[in-house]
């Protein structure tokens, strides 16, 4: 995919598309946003209960369980909420073309997510009846589960997308929609709702990557002196890399649209750290406590150094943070483990390599998420730069052709 700095993209390339019925159909009330957030919470809680049941009841052999009832009723709640949100925004006669044109941009991904949930849920029910219930590692590689997790992520992201859409304002001199510019500060309820939405969207991903996660339990090495390439120790390194990416992406995505609300990065790390450890892991509380404390320290230091970081440019400053934050957080985990769990079983070569690996992973993730643009936006950015360069050249040419005014003479 093409990479283009966000600052080089004209506002028209990133603006939310105007809808046929005007800006009003793209704006949402607080009641509408919080209703979808509540339905998403219901859905994700059902997933948490189901994950807990599968991890604690090894002989689970039926689809008809109370936690499945919570999860699938959450799917129904999200579906009904989306129908309620769309009812007043669609024309009376709904066709395929009008549905595509009139659906607000903020609801398109949640609607796609709902379709994935319905299809995935149907396939999951049929699969279990035909082939039985997945166990252990099989759970993480079920095709129907992929659809369900992807659908949950898209639906749970809906409230944050609605906040972004409702941030558009109607110009005082025209009826055109003027989108909020990147870097706008989120305040009050919008900041809380966006953070909650991001947490709810991230948790299903953390749950479904539990087979390769550094949040579930302390990963400190096996102590084997002869470690092969395909070993449990190598799998632990992969877990640190995977968790680094999954923890950073929601923070970086929010930073593309807004200034991060105070404590939002810490919450986006702490919530999955505690939930995954308590629900799926061995509940060694020192692990999520250490991760949360280290993240809070990183956020405080980053905010204190914000003026100096801004001098580097937005993308470069995030790459610096992406380089430093994972090494600090996971380094803190390894350091605290010397007191709580006997310390890591790896030698200096492995520990230094692990910290370098997560640091480079964080920097690469920050560069990719911050700079990758949709193909259409990148295509519009190139003519914009050409136009700006041409205008500057024309100004210089005109200045060269215009004779200089004579200096004023003394009376």
Block residue for tokens 């998420």: 369
As beta bridge partners, residue 178 has: 169
pLDDT in tens, 327-336: 999 999 999 9
- Residues recorded for the chain: 411
Q: Of the ranges 63-72, 100-109, 220-229, 394-403, which one carries the lowest mean pLDDT score?
A: 394-403
Helix (H, G, I), strand (E, B) or coil at 135: coil
Report whether 269 contacts 287 (CB < 8 A).
Answer: no
DSSP 170: E
Tokens 């919570």 — which residue? 70
Q: Which of 48, 62, 210, 221 is nearest to 136 (CA)?
A: 210
Confidence of residue 294 (pLDDT cuts 50, 70, 90): very high
Element (H, E) at 258: strand 258-259
Range name among 7-11, 328-332, 389-393 with the lowest pLDDT average? 7-11
How far CA 353 is from CA of 146, 198, 212, 348, in Å, comes to 32, 31, 18, 8
- The model's pLDDT over 159-203, given as tens digits with 9 standing for 90+, comes to 999 998 876 533 333 444 444 455 678 888 999 999 999 999 999
* Residue 337: CB atoms within 10 Å: 20
pTM of the predicted protein model: 0.80
Domain boundaries, the chain: 19-168+186-208, 213-220+234-380
Residue at token pair 């992201």: 157
Q: Report residue 268 as tokens.
A: 């986006």
């Amino acid at each position: 995919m093409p990479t283009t700095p966000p600052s080089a993209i004209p506002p028209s390339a990133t603006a939310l598309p105007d809808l046929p019925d005007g800006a009003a159909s793209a704006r949402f009330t607080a009641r509408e946003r919080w209703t979808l957030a509540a339905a998403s919470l219901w859905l994700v809680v059902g997933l948490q209960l189901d994950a807990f049941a599968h991890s604690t009841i090894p002989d689970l052999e039926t689809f008809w369980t109370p936690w499945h009832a919570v999860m699938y009723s959450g799917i129904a709640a999200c579906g009904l909420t989306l129908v309620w949100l769309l009812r007043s925004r669609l024309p009376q006669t709904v066709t395929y073309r009008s549905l595509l044109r009139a659906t607000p941009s903020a609801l398109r991904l949640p609607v796609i997510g709902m379709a994935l949930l319905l299809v995935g849920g149907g396939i999951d029910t049929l699969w279990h009846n035909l082939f039985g219930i997945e166990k252990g590692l099989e759970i993480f590689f079920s095709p129907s589960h992929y659809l369900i997790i992807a659908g949950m992520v898209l639906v749970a992201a809906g409230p944050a997308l609605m906040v972004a859409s409702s941030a558009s304002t109607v110009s005082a001199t025209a009826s055109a929609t003027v989108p909020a510019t990147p870097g706008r500060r989120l305040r009050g309820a919008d900041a809380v709702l966006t953070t909650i939405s991001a947490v709810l969207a991230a948790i299903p991903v953390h749950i479904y990557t539990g087979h390769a996660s550094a949040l579930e339990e302390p990963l400190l090495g096996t102590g084997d002196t002869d470690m092969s390439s395909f070993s449990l120790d190598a799998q632990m390194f992969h877990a640190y890399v995977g968790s680094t990416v999954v923890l950073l992406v929601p923070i970086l995505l929010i930073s593309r649209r807004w200034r991060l609300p105070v404590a939002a990065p810490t919450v986006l790390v702490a919530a999955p750290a505690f939930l995954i450890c308590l629900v799926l892991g061995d509940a060694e509380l020192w692990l999520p406590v250490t991760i949360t404390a280290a993240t809070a320290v990183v956020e405080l230091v980053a905010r204190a150094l914000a003026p100096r970081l801004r001098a580097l440019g937005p993308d470069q400053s995030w790459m610096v943070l992406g380089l430093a934050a994972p090494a600090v957080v996971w380094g803190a985990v390894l350091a605290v483990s010397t007191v709580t769990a006997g310390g890591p079983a790896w030698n200096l070569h492995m520990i230094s390599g692990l910290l370098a690996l997560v640091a480079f992973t964080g920097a690469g993730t920050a560069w990719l998420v911050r700079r990758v643009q949709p193909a259409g936006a990148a295509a519009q950015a190139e003519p914009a730069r050409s136009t700006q360069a041409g205008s500057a050249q024309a100004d210089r040419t005109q200045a060269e052709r215009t004779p200089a005014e004579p200096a004023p003479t003394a009376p």
